[in-house]
């Protein structure tokens, strides 16, 4: 299972990278705005900085919603760095653009996916990743994890190569459940990754081992 961090915050990206388990980064326009990164030039510079920190895939989202605009923007983003994955919204022109990018060998992440039907279309179009937003489904009393199971079943039935990127992961249990259900990737905040470290018996056990070791000194 690949671990992506869902942020545009460089310190957090560095921290996750230093842990040695990071496989990539996802961003979106809201995450960029949260870091105060605005305007195309600054946003492009920021993507380059992220690519310099991590070894893996970095999703960079287009803001156009028409076919020509998505193609223009996506090609510019793809040229920025070889690690860039063009993030395209799940809309009609987005699907057409994903097919175009797929034929040209440009990797894509189909974002804002909330149903199995949308995920099926993304795979048919040749998306590299599909991003079902599980946390946002949970927010409206719909089972986000169930969507991961449905997509896994459909993709396995037909051996689609599109990777399921569980997005909008909010906490550590989401990570564990997505792993059980066979998501290929998860993207979440640093806290969702670091939460995997924690167990009180580990802390108690370690304190006791150190205490006993020190008795002999």
Report H helices in 112-186: 116-125, 134-139, 144-158, 172-181
Q: Quickly list DSSP for 175-211.
A: HHHHHHHT-SEEEE-HHHHHGGG--HHHHHHHHHHHH
- Tell me the torsion sign for CA atoms 97, 100, 104, 109: positive
Report d(CA 40, CA 45) in Å as an integer: 9
Q: How many residues does the chain have?
A: 217
Instruction: Report the residue number, 83 or 131, with the smaller CB distance to ligand E4P.
Output: 131
Instruction: Report the residue number, 25 or 97, with the smaller CB distance to ligand E4P.
Output: 25
136 counts as binding ligand E4P under rule CB under 6 A? yes
- Determine phi and psi for 2, rounding to 5 degrees: -85, 145
Span from 16-24, 130-138, 146-154, 173-181 in contact with ligand E4P (CB under 6 A): 130-138
* Residue 115 DSSP code: S
Contact yes or no for 144/132 (Cβ under 8 A): yes
Contact yes or no for 96/102 (Cβ under 8 A): no
- Name residue, tokens 């896994």: 152
Instruction: Report the residue number, 71 or 166, with the smaller CB distance to ligand E4P.
Output: 166
Instruction: Report the residue number, 69 or 135, with the smaller CB distance to ligand E4P.
Output: 135
Contact yes or no for 39/19 (Cβ under 8 A): no
135 counts as binding ligand E4P under rule CB under 6 A? yes
At residue 82, the 3 state secondary structure works out as coil
182 counts as binding ligand E4P under rule CB under 6 A? no
Site string for ligand E4P, 20-59 (x = CB under 6 A): ------x-x-------------------------------
Minimum distance of ligand E4P from residue 195's CB (angstroms)? 15
Q: Which of 128, 162, 168, 192 binds ligand E4P (CB under 6 A)?
A: 168
Verify whether residue 99 is a known catalytic residue: no
Span from 10-18, 68-76, 133-141, 176-184 in contact with ligand E4P (CB under 6 A): 133-141
Span from 16-24, 49-57, 131-139, 203-211 in contact with ligand E4P (CB under 6 A): 131-139
163 counts as binding ligand E4P under rule CB under 6 A? no
**Which residues ranging from 58 to 97 are in contact with ligand E4P (CB under 6 A)?**
none
* Residues at the site binding ligand E4P, with contacts judged by CB under 6 A: 6, 26, 28, 111, 131, 133, 135-136, 167-168, 187
Q: Point out the residues that are catalytic.
A: 87
């Amino acid at each position: 299972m690949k671990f992506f961090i869902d942020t545009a915050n460089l310190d957090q990206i560095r921290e996750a990278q230093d842990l040695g388990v990071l496989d990539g980064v996802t961003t979106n326009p809201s995450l960029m705005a949260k870091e105060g990164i605005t305007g195309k030039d600054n946003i492009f510079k920021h993507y380059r900085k992220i690519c310099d920190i991590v070894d893996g895939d970095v999703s960079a989202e287009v803001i156009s919603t028409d076919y020509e605009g998505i193609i223009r923007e996506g090609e510019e983003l793809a040229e920025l760095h070889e690690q860039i994955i063009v993030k395209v919204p799940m809309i009609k022109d987005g699907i057409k653009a994903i097919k175009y990018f797929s034929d040209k060998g440009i990797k894509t992440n189909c974002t804002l996916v909330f149903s199995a039907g949308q995920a099926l279309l993304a795979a048919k179009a040749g998306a590299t990743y599909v991003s079902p937003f599980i946390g946002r489904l949970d927010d409206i009393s719909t089972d986000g994890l169930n969507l991961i199971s449905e997509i896994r079943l459909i993709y396995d039935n037909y051996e689609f190569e599109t990777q399921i990127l569980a997005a909008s992961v909010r906490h550590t249990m989401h990570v564990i459940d997505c792993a059980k259900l066979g998501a290929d990737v998860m993207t979440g905040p640093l806290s969702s990754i670091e939460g995997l470290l924690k167990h009180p018996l580990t802390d108690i056990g370690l304190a006791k081992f150190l205490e006993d070791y020190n008795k002999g000194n």
